[in-house]
Amino acid sequence: MFKKFSQLGRAFMLPIAILPAAGLLLGLGGALTNDAAVKAYPWLGMAWLQTILKVMSFAGNAVFSNIALIFAVGLAVGLASGDKGTAGLSGAVAFLVYTATIAGLIQMFSPKGTTVDTGVVGSIVIGGMVSYLHNRYRKIELPQFLGFFGGSRFIPIVTSFAAIFIGAIFYMIWPPIQNGMTSVGTEIAKMGSIGTFLYGFLLRLLGAVGLHHTIYPLFWYTSLGGTAHVAGKTIVGAQNIFFAQLADPNHVGLFTYGTRFFAGRFATMMFGLPAAALAMYHSIPKKNRKKNGGLYLSGGLTSFLTGITEPLEYTFLFVAPWLYVIHAFLDGLSFYFADILNIRIGNSFSGGFIDYLLFGILQGKDKTNWPTVLWFGCIWAVLYYVVFRFCISKFHVAIPGMNDDDDDTSVSSEKADNSSSTKETSLHEQSIQIIKALGGAENVESVEACATRLRISVTDNGKVDKKTLTDNGATAVLDVSGGLQAIYGGKSDLYAQEINDILGNDN
């Protein structure tokens, strides 16, 4: 079950990776074309510049308006075991057939004005259906007179017929399900800030094993995250509502209450974790600081700018899981306080300074209440520093640089950045070393990548040499059911592609 959820989370990362670029276009376009911005900075009113900015806004909005289709294609590709191009095409065709089936049934049998929007749930079902049929039948052999339609050509055909069937089922069952989800979303909203805390706390806990990607899309893209009327349309899902409001030039006042599923990230990622990095640096012996300083500096800076926290979190997660639970609790509190302080900043990917600038500062105080993050973040930085400094010093947590034998037992700053020795080695040679450390090609079932980690399925975990993996640049190696996750940062996707090329996997 863990392995299946891990695969689903990995597949979610493919469409989610598109969102930062789309968010950048929509964030800049929306912020710099509104009347307030033009009045404050008259040079923005130049016709050619406004044309460019409006086109950027339209382009970004196009992605978020078709997010369900993008997720269906992304999941089909991400879960396919090979010939991923055919899987992606089949996913697109199946989703279009699926939505057309529902629309046709509504037109024929439902009262005027009825809508059925299955959102990301429909995307998951269609993407999963396509990947299942694709993996099962992409090499099917048909009788000779039907030979042209065999193999990969069979997949768009069979998935289209399956999509009609699924569309008919959803037409019948989805209205009560959506009503139920809306009711649950309403109850979560009634929980107020306590519900916001629970969301942030559990999301951070699941992030330790990479399963958070299976949770937050349900709040971002379905009625669990709220329902709102924007520019004459009914929009469901916290992020969908936020970006619809962002694209609406007539929107005034604070952005949607659904931003409570985002706003709590900024204090932790921009202030809390960088302060924790400083606390860890100050906690290690002075003689080890020069050697390990780069690890904590790069981890804190990455968290501040981009909101990617794994490089820093994995310095203490395995040596002190209880400290990670404290961190998750503090992150939940960050969501809680952001809620009660009416911080209404959305995001496209994470809670770093880039998203803070785009969706907070540039959108204006009246819509986001962005200045509150600054003074609250300073308090949060002090809290994180004190908590981490006390816990690490009091319990002598074996973070990198704490012990004199860290060369043998922990990850040095050079390893965290793929040390100078690995930099001198080609990507191909490093990938061969990783394969050997995984027990050889015969022990490797599959290799995929998400934002910062390799997700590897192996036949026998006992054959894996974790020390060689960390020597080769992995910040940490986590055992999971049926395989492991190795944290390689931004090079994870490069390693995954190279390893699959070496193994001859059809990816």
DSSP states of 107-175 = HHHS-TT-----HHHHHHHHHHHHHHHHHHHTT----GGGGGG-GGGHHHHHHHHHHHHHHHHHHHHHH
**Domain membership flag for residue 426:** yes
**Confidence (pLDDT) at 274:** 96
Q: Are residues 263 and 249 both part of a single domain? A: no
Domain that holds residue 496: 418-503
Tell me, yes or no, whether 339 and 440 share the same domain. Answer: no
Residue 88 token pair: 């992606």
Q: Tell me phi and psi for residue 483, to 5 degrees.
A: 170, -150
**Under 8 Å between Cβ of 494 and 473:** no
Whether the Cβ atoms of residue 251 and residue 367 lie closer than 8 Å to each other: yes
Final residue before a domain boundary, out of 239, 255, 271: 255
Cβ distance 64 to 240 under 8 Å? yes
Looking at 204, 236, 255, which one is the last position of a domain? 255
Structural domain includes residue 207: no
**For residue 236, what is the enclosing H or E element?**
strand 233-236
Let me know whether 324 and 442 are in one domain. no
Is 290 domain-assigned? yes
Q: Are the beta carbons of 222 and 335 closer than 8 angstroms?
A: no
Bigger pLDDT: 348 vs 152:
152
Split at pLDDT 50, 70, 90, the class of 464 is confident
Does residue 209 sit within a domain? no
* 59, two tokens: 């382009």
Between 120 and 138, the more confident residue is: 138
**What pLDDT score was predicted for residue 409?**
40
pLDDT at 497: 84
Q: Which single residue is written with the structure tokens 């209404």?
A: 344
The answer to whether 334 and 380 have CB atoms below 8 angstroms apart is yes
Both 391 and 427 in a single domain?
Answer: no
**DSSP string for 287-356:** HHHHHHHHHHHHHHHHHHHH---HHHHTTTTTT-HHHHHHHHHHHHHHHHHHHHTT-----SS-SSHHHH
**Enzyme catalytic residues:** 450
Are residues 460 and 363 part of one domain?
Answer: no
Q: Is 228 helix (H, G, I), strand (E, B) or coil?
A: strand
Asked if the structure places residue 347 within a domain, the reply is yes
Task: Give residue-wise pLDDT tens across range 290-332.
Answer: 888 888 988 898 889 878 787 788 788 877 889 999 999 999 9
Handedness of CA 40, 42, 45, 48 (dihedral sign): negative
Q: Tell me the per-residue pLDDT of 242-265, one tens digit each, with 9 for 90 and over.
A: 988 988 888 889 999 889 999 999
Residue 350 lies in a domain: yes
Yes or no: say if 351 and 266 are a contact pair by the CB < 8 Å rule.
yes
How many domains in the chain?
3
The more confidently predicted of residues 7 and 420 is: 7
Reported as a single tens digit per residue, the pLDDT across 395-428 is 888 888 887 544 444 444 444 444 444 444 688 8
Q: How far apart are CA 36 and CA 253, in angstroms?
A: 13
Cα separation, 3 vs 367, whole angstroms: 41
Give the end of a domain, one of 374, 409, 444: 409
* pLDDT higher at 333 or 151: 333
> CATH number of the domain that 440 lies in?
3.30.1360.60
Contacts of 325 (CB under 8 A, 6+ apart): 205
Cβ neighbours of 39 (radius 10 Å): 10
What sections of 191-223 are H helices per DSSP? 193-207, 216-221
Residues 82 and 185 in one domain: yes
